[in-house]
Amino acid sequence: MKFRLNPLACSLGAVLTLTLAGCGGGGGGEATPDSTTPVTTTPEVTNPNPTTPPPPPAPVTVTLTGAVMGNQAIRNAVVCMDINANAACDPDEPASARTGADGAYSLTYDTAKVTPAQVAAASLIAPMVPGAATDPTTTIDAAEPGVALTARAYVLRQVPGKSGQINPLTTLVAKGIADGMTEAAARSNAAVQLNMPEAEIDNYQNEPPTNDARVEDSTRWAARALMGALEQGVVLRVGDQTAAIEAGTGDLAQLRYTDADNYFVRTFERVAKAAGALGVQNIDARSGRTNGSATPSATLYNFAYLGPTGWIRCDGPWNGTIGTPSRSTYCGAQESVGFNVSTSIAGRTMTSVVTEMQADPATNVINNGVSVTSLVTALGNAVFPAGSSINARNNLTLSQAVTINSLNTDGRPQSEAQTLEQLIAAKPASAVVLPSPNGSLTLGLGSGDFKNLRVAFTGTTNATSGTVQFYECALDSTLNVASNCAAKETGTYSIATVNGARVMRFAGHAPTVMNHDRVYAEVQNAPTVASGNWVYQARENKPETKYAFSVQKRLNATAWAAMAAQLGIGGKK
């Protein structure tokens, strides 16, 4: 609630407690005379010693209460009224004691020292303090009681003139207000931006605690993403989700370059929209040349996602939101929330930046795993112009979408199987002759980067579940040839219908090094994806945090335009 102070009242709401010296326990202000109410006049009392000044009036204080929350309750936080708006708790500003295990705070101010205008304009803030977990000044989240909440100081805040819960979402709304939005507009836009109920901005603690073993699409996970952005020094922004948007080329998401006649480019572009519609649409724009000819669209977009409407070939627009952080529903199926951490590369040679990016294959998007010799030669001594930057896109995938990586190569022969039942019948364990991989199905990488996990069917098999035998084989340096296979664990399969398509999953094998699990899925009655009925090897994101979180270092539009011009290649479809 907003701070309000009535100097004649003896009590306010539940959040603000007003203490007045001299207020009685029963009566409340003056009675208004009428025809039935007697009026008693009290004789005036004069000061018996006029040379002695009367005692000063008792101070009038207001107490504000609430709790500081991150993932869960935050301990050791000091909450203060940031009157001078410097994002720090100064000695002369009203402040609470450090929060306890429940994150609760209580802050009292004197109305003779803090004016109503100051109260209305000031935010309550809670600085997050890094340090050793044993230091009593280090802020600790109850979700991880043994470590500091953050490695870098930042501030959580409420909107001006309010108390109650202070959390990352109220911090985002407060930023929207600081940037010129009304509170109502900041709240409604933030709710759309992160796809959450507006009421949960003030309290998402009724949701189940987050579990790093399984990332889920929830407000609490969105709050964790916000804390990650704040820790990295990212400036939050509430986007106007109904604003008009101009079309534009976005960051370089991927480049594979051999020469001007053989390359592949992927950028994310925004689709223009008029004011009024919510959010924004994006296009995964792909282009390239193969042996001097434009690469066909079917080759550029040879992957599919299993979304709410079934299988989708990802060659059209997908929905997102604007702001920092922002949401994305890639290919209508994969939900994520993310933000950019920008680093200027203006004035640096393109060669030095590419060489630096090669050092981290986990984040690199330029010739990742491919020779850069021809690329570096073509770049020469060219320098990135002003405005060039690397945008490190930090993304948290919130859903475990089923995807086909290559519609051209990942399908099983139709003569072998067009249904999962036919696939089971075609690959019995009794037909596997070790150490050959023949007769078994690949499940991708196994326990190491040069190990291949494989499977064949045993025992009970039916339309929903059955038993399997797992194998592990050695892979050559190209990762294409498997040999020296040996039987490993036994396990199970299960078949479930996901968004109208049947998907086969496997359980019981040792952990793999991939960020996804391999599954098999039916593609039937989906002519925009594949002609006829097929069984495809597919992928499903692993749900653990360590796999759901990713970083890609992308050149911004300015940097990419300069590099494309230097290479003599285009960036459009």
Q: Is the bond preceding residue 435 a cis peptide, omega within 30 degrees?
A: yes
Q: Nearest-CA neighbor of 534 among 400, 402, 408?
A: 408
User: Is this model's pTM higher than 0.75 or not?
Assistant: yes
Q: State how far Cα 155 lies from the chain centre.
A: 19
Residue 49 has what pLDDT? Answer: 61
pLDDT in tens, the chain (573 residues): 332 333 333 333 333 333 333 333 333 333 333 333 333 344 444 555 666 777 777 779 999 999 999 999 999 999 999 999 999 999 999 999 999 999 999 999 999 999 999 999 999 999 999 999 999 999 999 999 999 999 999 999 999 999 999 999 999 999 999 999 999 999 999 999 999 999 999 999 999 999 999 999 999 999 999 999 999 999 999 999 999 999 988 899 999 999 999 999 999 999 999 999 999 999 999 999 999 999 999 999 999 999 999 999 999 999 999 999 999 999 999 999 999 999 999 999 999 999 999 999 999 999 998 999 999 999 999 999 999 999 999 999 999 999 999 999 999 999 999 999 999 999 999 999 999 999 999 999 999 999 999 999 998 777 899 999 999 999 999 999 999 999 999 999 999 999 999 999 999 999 999 999 999 999 999 999 999 999 999 999 999 999 999 999 999 999 999 999 999 996 443
Q: What is the DSSP string of 483-537?
A: EEEEEEEEEEEEEEEETTEEEEEEESSPP-SSSEEEEEEEE-S-TTT-SS-EEEE
In sequence order, the β-bridge partners of residue 124 are: 81
> In terms of C-beta distances under 8 Å and separation of at least 24 residues, what long-range contacts does 353-362 make, across chains too?
353/384, 353/390, 354/379, 357/390, 357/553, 360/553, 362/551
CB 365 within 8 A of CB 252: yes
Cα separations in angstroms, 351 against 256, 360, 374, 408, 525: 15, 15, 11, 34, 48
The rounded distance, in Å, linking the Cα atoms of 534 and 409 is 12
CB 177 within 8 A of CB 157: no
Q: Is the bond preceding residue 43 a cis peptide, omega within 30 degrees?
A: no
CB 306 within 8 A of CB 402: yes
Residue 53 has what pLDDT? Answer: 74
Residue 391 has what pLDDT? Answer: 97
Query: Can you say whether the dihedral through the CA atoms of 83, 88, 90, 96 is positive or negative?
Result: positive
Q: Nearest-CA neighbor of 515 among 364, 318, 362, 389?
A: 362
Q: Three-state SS for 177?
A: helix
Q: What ranges do the domains of the chain cover?
A: 61-211, 248-400+549-567, 412-540
